Amino acid sequence: IGYLYRIGYFILFFSLFFLIFCRPELLENVDFPGTDIKFVYSPDVNHCQQLCTQHPSCLFFTFVRADWTKDNRLPQVQIPLLGLTSGYSLKPCQTNSRKNHQNDHYWLTVAHEGLDLNGSDMRFVVLDDAESCRRACNDDSNCQFYTYVTENFSDSAYRYCHLILHI
């Protein structure tokens, strides 16, 4: 029985290793099929990775680029497929002691014009510009994303800064 205990301990440790291992790399032209949790629109792969990181059940993702024409675990299957980019949630990286590189969180400062992040709006506030909206989101510990609706939007009733809990 001591032998079985050691095997069980090794399997548990091996499984936990993959759950806490930080994997910030992106896998170009790789698909993780068959394990979809949710389908959401995202402007780029780094934003998609952040959406995965924020979703409580997401451990890995596949981002379908605009030029694509057809076609607590690791993905069971990895299929090379042109036009797709896949990667892993950054949850383990948040407690990892590795030193962050300058570009690791560049997506935090990238604004995506023309994109409405539909999600669970916490509240909306009247602000003068998108930068003020970004600061309001940064200052709120519950805010994960924001959408700022400009004067170009047809319905003036929605021209606010929308602070979003999750997408």
The pTM assigned to this predicted structure is 0.43
Residues whose CB is less than 8 angstroms from the CB of residue 21 and which lie 6 or more positions away in sequence, other chains included: 92
Residue type, 144: Q
pLDDT at 12: 44
Q: What is the pLDDT along the chain (167 residues), one digit of tens a residue?
A: 444 444 444 444 444 444 557 788 888 888 887 778 888 878 888 888 888 888 888 888 888 876 655 544 555 566 666 665 566 666 566 654 444 444 455 555 567 677 666 666 778 888 888 888 888 887 887 777 788 887 777 777 666 787 776 65
pLDDT at 118: 65
119, 145 contact by CB (below 8 A)? yes
Domain borders along the chain are 1-110, 115-167
User: Which run of H or E residues covers position 136?
Assistant: helix 130-139
Q: How many beta carbons lie within 10 A of that of residue 150, not counting itself? A: 10
Cα 31 → chain centroid: 16
What is the CATH number assigned to the segment(s) 1-110?
Answer: 3.50.4.10
Residue type, 66: A
Looking up tokens 């997506």, which residue turns up?
Answer: 107
